[in-house]
Amino acid sequence: MNTAELLVRCLENEGVKYVFGLPGEENLHVLEAIAHSSIQFITTRHEQGAAFMADVYGRLTGKAGVCLSTLGPGATNLMTGVADANLDGAPLVAITGQVGTDRMHKESHQYLDLVAMFAPVTKWNAQIVRPSIAPEVVRKAFKISQTEKPGAVHIDVPENIAAMPVTGEPLNKGDVEKTFASFRSIEQAAQLISQSKNPLILVGNGAIRANASQAVTEFATKMNIPVANTFMGKGVIPYTHPLALWAVGLQLRDYINCGFDNTDLVIAIGYDLIEYSPKRWNPDSKIQIVHISTSHAEIDSNYLPLVEVVGDISDSLDEILQRADRTGKPDPYALELRDDIRADYEKYANDTGFPIKPQKLIYDLRQVMQSEDIVICDVGAHKMWMARHYHCERPNTCLISNGFAAMGIAIPGAIAAKLVAPEKQVVAVTGDGGFMMNCQELETALRVGTNFVTIIFNDGGYGLIEWKQENQMGRSAFVKFGNPDFVKFAESMGLKGYRVESTADFIPILKTALAQNVPAVIDCPVDYRENLRFTQKAGELSCAI
């Protein structure tokens, strides 16, 4: 047995089902070992796509997704997806091939110090410098990657080390015990919540990672406290719940900001500062905060909790619930605020304007998708509208990257989502800019049999940047481009392609596309004049009831 074979046996021991990546000279021994294992290797068309697939796999399952590249340019191509996983809190293990240790001391073809390069975008990384340490490196990598807060790790494998003979076995994983919050912090939190007149819950992705959706919903219901979720916290509480105030996270003022203006206590549950800067909702640092999470709060001058309840989130909420007294104290302000938010959402239900308004497009998408189906949202102007208008009944049914916020994630992410949940309908929502960054992975989707629908919000430019330019500079520049015929593009790859030519077309086309036995692409012209209209409306928003 060589080191590469032992490495792959260790991956099997960790429960790895898929490795996403590209073959290369310096990872030949690892690839050969995978070929003789139970692991399925998904050959991608670009290393960035491989990393995004591992990223979304990790976010959906809580188990580290694994991506593999060769050295040099293959490794540098991985970095965007690795950084995305690390900032979004998704467990990921990146494995790179490397030159032999006999030529690392000198200038050498395609050699880069990958351990140094990946250090800023990972929780931990290491090079396997001796065959015997492979089991320890792999076990440590997965443990660190999957431990709260999850993130990316990196293993560098020199080609000569991979080929060396070795004896050894994978290490036992062992059980990880839950940690529980101190009773003192629980008592303090319960007291603050009981004394608060208008508390507001802000829930983030950490609550999803902790499988705390049911506990959050029960806590909010019994305490009669309204709930706002971050972009990455969608579905923690069902959007149909009478206390759900939907998503917060836009850089512009929105209805939900009125809730923060009116509150005297924010109960932050599983909230990471990277999801939505506290400076946006607590600019004067005057709002009292209770922090409930599996990890301590990040230091921020606008986020200084009076108490930190650190431990298992579900247990913490249950213990606080037993001690706090707010029964029969609903906040009428929040109920009226919810009515305003819902009315703004519903008013686009019958809009017939074309090109389609993003609000209408997303409203219709929501009508077709079932509560358990999955949407992967790319980054761009459409992301702002998806965050605001695509509402979820369940966690992990609308995935938005809002830590690193990397364009090009939607199509690779949809492949991973379909591998994780083949029985569910999966839709990739992307702009024409993000689509062209990783559209080559549609061939991967076809080859591995992951049938999903890609919806392109087509405006012929980088719409989000144009929106920012118009707001800040009063004009736009360098944001327009041409596009291929997306229908012919899809058909040339053996996919189904559709073009929306009227607002009434969209729902029938989407239903047809979802029924296909191959991936499908829908080209949909979108009216992004709504961006500036929303900016104007946000500037005029009054929080008077």
Higher pLDDT, 137 or 542: 137
Domain boundary residue, one of 108, 132, 163:
163
Higher pLDDT, 225 or 334: 225
Amino acid (1-letter code) at residue 532 = L
For residues 129 and 161, is the Cβ–Cβ distance under 8 A?
Answer: yes
Counting every residue, how long is the chain? 545
Residues 295 and 363 placed together within one structural domain of the fold: no
Residue 341 resides in a domain: no
Domain boundary residue, one of 107, 128, 163:
163
Residue 149 resides in a domain: yes
Query: Would you say residue 542 has pLDDT above 80?
Result: no
Residues 378 and 514 placed together within one structural domain of the fold: yes
Q: Give me the pLDDT at residue 257, please.
A: 80
Query: Would you say residue 329 has pLDDT above 70?
Result: no
Q: Domain of 365: which CATH number?
A: 3.40.50.970
What mean pLDDT is predicted for residues 49-68?
98
Q: What angle do CA 350, 355, 357 make, to 5 degrees?
A: 50
Residues 360 and 471 placed together within one structural domain of the fold: yes
Mean of per-residue pLDDT scores for the chain:
94
Query: Would you say residue 412 has pLDDT above 60?
Result: yes
Residues 144 and 195 placed together within one structural domain of the fold: no
For residues 450 and 415, is the Cβ–Cβ distance under 8 A?
Answer: yes
What mean pLDDT is predicted for residues 496-504?
98
What mean pLDDT is predicted for residues 470-490?
94
Residues 150 and 8 placed together within one structural domain of the fold: yes
Residues 8 and 102 placed together within one structural domain of the fold: yes
Q: Give me the pLDDT at residue 178, please.
A: 87
What mean pLDDT is predicted for residues 478-503?
97
Residue 237 resides in a domain: yes
Residue 177 resides in a domain: no
Q: Give me the pLDDT at residue 534, please.
A: 81
Q: From CA 228, how far away is CA 245, in angstroms rounded?
A: 5
Query: Would you say residue 304 has pLDDT above 60?
Result: yes
Q: What is the pLDDT of residues 22-34, one digit of tens each?
A: 999 999 999 999 9
Q: From CA 225, how far away is CA 237, in angstroms rounded?
A: 12
- pLDDT class for 531, splitting at 50, 70, 90? confident
In the numeric block, which tokens belong to residue 313?
Answer: 């989130």
Residues 208 and 111 placed together within one structural domain of the fold: no
What mean pLDDT is predicted for residues 197-211?
96
Residues 25 and 76 placed together within one structural domain of the fold: yes
Higher pLDDT, 470 or 152: 152
Domain boundary residue, one of 285, 305, 331:
331
Residue 366 resides in a domain: yes
Q: Give me the pLDDT at residue 486, please.
A: 98
Residues 402 and 474 placed together within one structural domain of the fold: yes
Q: From CA 168, how far away is CA 188, in angstroms rounded?
A: 50
Query: Would you say residue 245 has pLDDT above 50?
Result: yes
Instruction: Count up the domains in the chain and report the number.
Output: 3
Query: Would you say residue 460 has pLDDT above 90?
Result: yes
In the numeric block, which tokens belong to residue 122?
Answer: 């990972």
Residues 31 and 156 placed together within one structural domain of the fold: yes
Q: From CA 151, how far away is CA 86, in angstroms rounded?
A: 4
Worst-scoring range by mean pLDDT, 19-23, 382-386, 518-522?
A: 382-386
Higher pLDDT, 252 or 79: 79
Query: Would you say residue 37 has pLDDT above 50?
Result: yes
The owner of tokens 């089902």 is 17
- Contact residues for 294 (Cβ-Cβ < 8 A; gap 6+): 148, 149, 179, 206, 209, 210, 270, 310, 311, 312, 313
What mean pLDDT is predicted for residues 497-509?
98
DSSP 3-state of 399: strand
What mean pLDDT is predicted for residues 400-409?
94
Q: Give me the pLDDT at residue 545, please.
A: 47
Residue 176 resides in a domain: no
Q: Domain of 256: which CATH number?
A: 3.40.50.1220
DSSP 3-state of 338: helix
For residues 384 and 250, is the Cβ–Cβ distance under 8 A?
Answer: yes
Residue 168 resides in a domain: no
- Print the domain residue range for 359: 347-537
Q: Give me the pLDDT at residue 60, please.
A: 98
Residues 371 and 506 placed together within one structural domain of the fold: yes
What mean pLDDT is predicted for residues 298-302?
95
- pLDDT class for 341, splitting at 50, 70, 90? confident
Residue 169 resides in a domain: no
What mean pLDDT is predicted for residues 389-393?
95
Residues 45 and 135 placed together within one structural domain of the fold: yes
For residues 520 and 453, is the Cβ–Cβ distance under 8 A?
Answer: yes
Worst-scoring range by mean pLDDT, 130-144, 214-228, 241-255, 479-493?
A: 241-255
Q: Give me the pLDDT at residue 9, please.
A: 98
- Contact residues for 251 (Cβ-Cβ < 8 A; gap 6+): 280
- In percent, the amount of the chain with pLDDT more than 90 equals 85
